[in-house]
Structure 1
Amino acid sequence: MTYNLFISHSWSYSDNYSKLVNLLQKKPGFDFRNYSVPKDDPIHNARYDYQLKEAIERQIRPASCVIILAGVYATYSKWINIEIEIAQRLGKKIVAVEPWGSECTSTVVKNAADEIVRWNTDSIVRAIRGW
Structure 2
Amino acid sequence: MSPKPKDRIEAFIDLIKYQPSIFLEENRIDLKQQIEKFPEDVEALSNAISSWCLKHPNIFTALRDKLDSLDSMLGSIPGEQKGPAESNPKPKPEDYKPLLKNQVRESFPETTPETTKEQKPSDSNK
The TM-score normalised by the length of structure 1 is 0.27
The answer to which structure, 1 or 2, has the higher relative contact order (CA under 8 A, 6+ apart) is: 2
Q: Which has the higher helix share?
A: 2
